[in-house]
Structure 1
Amino acid sequence: MVQAIRSARGYLSKTAQLTQWLRRSPDSDSAAPLTAFMAPALDAALAPQREQQQTYPPEPHPIQRYRAIWLSDIHLGTPGCQANYLLDFLKHNESDQLYLVGDIIDGWQLRRGWYWPQSHNDVVQKLLRKARKGTEVIYVPGNHDEAARQFDGMAFGDITVREEAVHVTASGRRLWVVHGDLFDGVVQHARWLAYLGDSLYTVILALNRHFNRLRARLGFPYWSLSQFLKHQVKNAVNYIGAFESAMVDEARRRGCDGVVCGHIHKAEIREVNGQLYCNDGDWVESLSALVETMEGELKIVYWTTLLDAPAPATRRRRRAAVAG
């Protein structure tokens, strides 16, 4: 008992001395031993806080602004659609005008079997949101969404449907905007062959998805195996050349300086027979868009690397529940 009392008295005595030191001025010589003793401990305690204060969130990627953007062959409703890449592109790129140049929704595939994940719905919502916020969105249907052609001239959710359109660039060039399937002899005169080719193409795209899933795990960007194989076939190359010539000849007949189209999934800008030929590519193989800068320059933008990783499905559902 006596020992416990003595220990308590010693503890109280040291506490009183420590209190007196803390009340003294920091410049006092008697506070020096305390400062020297506590400095290392204080540094160690404050180090995590300093590191936290010096850690800043990554700066957001800047949004690029264009006069016009052309997108085609998105093929919503199919497993081959790269919706996450398109959403990332739409998030980081704005324009005064946005042209949807056909095959936005793949009606052929949806008739065979329903496939509509949340990311495809997100693309539609993003396009509608851009239209509501002032972007002029013009929808030019293609052969896979040809049912929309009957609504030529009508507007749905601030998106105007046109069977074809004419865009005037900043430099004054008139560009005929059309999907291009009407100049595809296979689609027009051998529809059964077009359906067969579409089925085989779907199989190739399935292989393409597995191939790129493996590339992503190894840290490589998206690369289209299906597009590479297609462009190695001589008949396919000849067909593309004939398609391009037919498109520019029709653009000239209509009094335009060039054409913007999709349909063949091959992004390109070049002169053909003295006319400007522009193909905006697709969001199944090339992941590309045609853009016009504020200065009137036309160029192809490839979006094969995500700037923002997509949120996990559970997190998206949680946010949706909160918003609802």
Structure 2
Amino acid sequence: MEVQQEAHSEQNIRDVDTVIISDVHLGSPVCRAKRLVEVLEGFRFNRLILNGDIFDDVNFKRLSSAHWKFLSYIRKISNPEKNIEVVWVEGNHDEGLAEIISVLIGIPAYKEYEWEHAGKKILAIHGHQWDRFLNENVFISKVAAAFYLYTQKFGKGRQKISRFLKRRSKRWLRLTGKVAGGAIDHAKFKGVNVVICGHTHHTFQKEDKGIIYFNSGCWTDVPSSLVVIEHSGEIRIEDFD
């Protein structure tokens, strides 16, 4: 895992095949949309995968100017003239927004997305499908989300309290291992070599049952992270302050 600290310049734009991001949570006070655009502008890529929870919820009144600028950036690069494949994979926070996304930024939405590169079959899926607590305790999950939003509204600076609560809740539920295990089994069934998830907000890499698993982390914490796939086929998690 690499930590990137400096902003890019025109002279050092990196040429890669694919960039995968997840858990941006547009509309949340802890969303780092401005920094994310800066980072993405430092890459030249053939494909961008938005792997779920790009929005925090359906209340677009919560979107700040930085959040709208991120959407404008996505719409710009999804222009067919750019020759960039932009794919949105639904997460639990933005599930059911396919039609709205198509209007806002003009890209297709998928439950999961599969492609091939450098001899590898790769699958992107958000990962909430293997969060049993979320799926079996809908009301409690909504109450927890409301409380988390409350801490965000009254937090200051780097939103330390809300970010701490989010990290602790995910660890308490042991989501990192649960999502990885479920995703690996699903990838095995699908016959792919690599599976990439989000949802847990924690970067993670694991190889099991002949499947390589990556989690891209989130863009609501510091550092934030993404997954890069090089033209050679090398896959790597990178962090950004």
Q: What does residue range 98-113 of structure 1 map to in structure 2 within 5 Å?
A: 98-107=48-57, 110=59
After superposition, the CA RMSD in angstroms is 2.9
How far, CA to CA, are the matches of 1:125 and 1:233 in structure 2? 31
Q: Kindly tell me: are residues 61 and 165 of structure 1, through their superposed partners in 2, closer, same or farther at Cα, counting changes over 3 Å?
A: same
SS of the aligned residue for 1:277 comes to strand
Higher strand share: 2
- Of the three residues 59, 62, 77, the one matched with 2:27 is 77
CA contact (8 A) 2:148 2:165 kept: no
Normalising by structure 2, report the TM-score. 0.83
How far, CA to CA, are the matches of 2:217 and 2:68 in structure 1? 22
How many residues are paired up?
230
Check if 1:266 corresponds to 2:214. Answer: no
Q: Which protein shows a greater Rg?
A: 1
Higher helix share: 1
Deviation per CA, 1:158-192: give whole Å up to 9, x if none: 5222221112232x121221111122112222111
Compute the displacement of 1:245 (Å): 0.6
Compute the displacement of 1:252 (Å): 0.5
Where do 5+ consecutive residues of structure 1 fail to align?
A: 1-58, 214-222, 305-324
SS of the aligned residue for 1:147 comes to coil
Aligned twin of 2:192: 256
- Of the three residues 162, 178, 183, the one matched with 2:110 is 162
How far, CA to CA, are the matches of 1:233 and 1:282 in structure 2? 12
How far, CA to CA, are the matches of 1:271 and 1:228 in structure 2? 29
* One-letter code aligned to 2:54: I
How far, CA to CA, are the matches of 1:147 and 1:79 in structure 2? 22
Normalising by structure 1, report the TM-score. 0.63
Q: Kindly tell me: are residues 88 and 233 of structure 1, through their superposed partners in 2, closer, same or farther at Cα, counting changes over 3 Å?
A: closer
Q: Kindly tell me: are residues 283 and 188 of structure 1, through their superposed partners in 2, closer, same or farther at Cα, counting changes over 3 Å?
A: same
How far, CA to CA, are the matches of 1:186 and 1:150 in structure 2? 28
Deviation per CA, 1:138-164: give whole Å up to 9, x if none: 111111111224689x78755222221
Q: Kindly tell me: are residues 71 and 122 of structure 1, through their superposed partners in 2, closer, same or farther at Cα, counting changes over 3 Å?
A: same
Q: Kindly tell me: are residues 67 and 199 of structure 1, through their superposed partners in 2, closer, same or farther at Cα, counting changes over 3 Å?
A: same
Compute the displacement of 1:125 (Å): 0.7
CA contact (8 A) 2:148 2:162 kept: no
